[in-house]
Amino acid sequence: MESTPAVFAGAVFALFGAGLLLWTGVRSAQGEPVAEGVRPVAAAVLSGSVGLLAVLAAVWCFGRL
């Protein structure tokens, strides 16, 4: 019963992290801004870092099963 919240949280973190990494990669590859009004490199690094942290949180959640 305790594994259900870990699976749900892991799935949410995995989907969010993967989506954010994919979106950041596509926007950066096309040369389009990742965030409006922010330097492109800073926005890409921050967005990529948050995406990576979300994927790592998903791995941690799935590891708790």
pTM: 0.88
C-alpha 28 chain-centroid distance = 15
Q: What angle do CA 27, 22, 33 make, to 5 degrees?
A: 20
Q: How far apart are CA 57 and CA 51, in angstroms?
A: 10
pLDDT at 2: 73
Q: What angle do CA 41, 46, 47 make, to 5 degrees?
A: 100
Amino acid identity for residue 14 in this structure: A
pLDDT at 1: 54
Q: In order along the chain (65 residues), what is the average pLDDT of each group of 10 residues? A: 86 98 96 92 96 97 88
Tell me which H or E stretch contains 46.
helix 40-63
